[in-house]
Amino acid sequence: MSKQTYRVCFCFRRRFKLAISEAPPEIKDLFDQYSENDIMTVDHLHRFLTEVQKEEKATKEEAQATIDHCLRELKHLNIFHRKVLNLEAFFKYLFGDINPPILPSIGVHHDMSAPLSHYFIYTGHNSYLTGNQLSSDCSDVPIIQALHRGVRVIELDIWPNSTKDDVDVLHGGTLTTPVELIKCLKSIKEHAFVASEYPVVITLEDHLTPDLQAKVAQLVTQTFGDVLFSPGSECLKDFPSPESLKKRIIISTKPPQEYLEAKDAVKSENDPKSGKTQVDEEAWGQEVPDLKGANVVDDKQDELDEEDSNGEEDNDKSPQHLAPEYKRLIAIHAGKPKGGLVECLKVDPDKVRRLSLSEQQLEKASETYGKEIVRFTQRNILRVYPKGIRVDSSNYNPMIGWSHGAQMVAFNMQGYGRSLWVMQGMFRANGGCGYVKKPDFLLKTGPHNEVFDPKYKLPVKTTLKVKVYMGEGWYYDFKHTHFDAYSPPDFYARVGIAGVAADSVMKKTKTLEDDWIPAWDEEFEFPLTVPELAVLRIEVHEYDMSEKDDFGGQTCLPVSELRKGIRAVPLHSRKGDKYKSVKLLMHFEFV
């Protein structure tokens, strides 16, 4: 009889039945090792914390607090009055919220006094879009959601409204419905510092006339007031630190040099006579140069200075109109100098700036100019954005940008998928404040002025050993028929590394049939050449013979902050929302 027939015939009576979660054999052995007569005292637990969990600084008071916490949740145990743990309570501690894989309680612990260019910054792309890049609504809702997740860079594309007397936010030249700029600004003010008190940068892609730029200056000034950081119209010599900019809003865009009516720039943004629609250059790459010849500085590369492909034009014509009050608001100056990529990456000792490259431009440039990009990002800010064909709001591999020191790897925060999960994982580091200090090797210059070479093959620095014991919680967080109409699910786990190319890999456990509480008990090893940039990827899927495997949860964790020992790892939905009950019991060790 086939399995499917068996399920149809016999599983109705058992499909909602759940076995009690039971400690795996290795956990039972550890309990025996660190207990006497089936009782774990404070001294026993303290020894377990220091020897197995590698919490060298753990105190007996902390061990006692752990016992008290577990017993409060297990009041039915007759050991409550004795302040000790039995196997059930010990297992409850290991698999409980009190034992996470990274410690949010330590909060911000990186040095926050270095210049902004020394940090990876949680960065959004077209932050106002609710869905795809072509026809979704523009709204302040995704901006609010991003800020609540700790995103620190919000991008707004600003255009004249239909009557040319006010400013809208929309994806130019598409069917996206606009939202008023003032609504976005007010939402940013209200929600900017809910998740983090560190600065929020607003990157503006500007398609405005000088009179509307002046209006933007007025709206920004009135909305943010003293919260706005505006050092004046001159370029900064050095970027301030995140610490010095706490609870401040920063504006970044290309300072207006002039308004060219000849450019028909706002070429009536949509010229009805021509039947053409002006689309913002960043999203569509209409005038984005191809860096095919990135190894030769030639005329083709000189195209790079014509458009920043970010609505940041660098034209060299005489000024006609100025919006000085708008220019004074810009703290982080963006734009590309004349002379192609080599000029773009030149470091000016007297001023700092922001450069924008598409994911494709960065990839091609990195083939030849990897070290120059790293040197540039030691003082200046590099922003990377998705290529134009990602109309579905998908994302790209952020590691290419990060390994070259790019601070603003801009993502579509509504583009749920593995790339975004890795992004979310990276920014779980440093208390989730949205700023992660770059590794020292990206910031240092050697005795002969040399910098890190991203193409250089490095030796293995450490090996991460990951053991997946078991999982639980799907029975409570999913409908009982979600995975299979007739029987319990067939789960398998995928575990791997997102990092530099040499470190990136995914591995898979066996599939366990008909089990709401799968106990895989499998171990994997991951040699890491650049552990500082590595993110541990964890997914659970349910095997489906006839259709695509069902999603059962995911999380990504910064390897730099993994706690050694046995930990309870909560899983999240595709959107990154934490499930109430679903988690894995895992062991982490560095050898």
Asked about 482 being catalytic, the answer comes back as: no
Strands 522-528 and 462-472: antiparallel
Residue-level length of the chain? 591
**Which of 476, 484, 477, 468 has the alpha carbon at shortest distance from 550?**
484
CB 541 within 8 A of CB 566: no
Asked about 125 being catalytic, the answer comes back as: yes
Q: How far apart are CA 524 and CA 538, in angstroms?
A: 12
267: tokens are: 């070429």
Q: How far apart are CA 85 and CA 102, in angstroms?
A: 24
Non-local (6+) Cβ contacts of 418 within 8 A are 537
CB 207 within 8 A of CB 303: no
DSSP character string of 38-93: TBB-HHHHHHHHHHTS--TT--HHHHHHHHHHHHHHTTTSTTGGGT-B-HHHHHHH
Q: How far apart are CA 461 and CA 299, in angstroms?
A: 42
Q: How far apart are CA 487 and CA 15, in angstroms?
A: 5
Q: How far apart are CA 345 and CA 347, in angstroms?
A: 6
Burial 123-135 (b: 16+ CB within 10 A, else e): bbbbbbbbbbbee
**Which of 562, 572, 557 has the alpha carbon at shortest distance from 495?**
557
CA atoms within 13 A on the CB side of 274: 9
Q: How far apart are CA 537 and CA 425, in angstroms?
A: 8
SS3 312: coil
Question: Based on the number of CB atoms within 10 Å of its own CB, is 470 exposed (0-12), middle (13-18) or buried (19 or more)?
Answer: buried
CA atoms within 13 A on the CB side of 174: 25
Q: How many Cβ atoms sit within 10 Å of the Cβ of residue 197?
A: 15
Torsion sign over Cα 111, 113, 118, 123: positive
Catalytic-role residue among 125, 404, 572, 587? 125
Catalytic-role residue among 171, 333, 404, 572? 171
Torsion sign over Cα 523, 528, 531, 536: negative
Non-local (6+) Cβ contacts of 33 within 8 A are none
Residues annotated as part of the active site: 125, 171
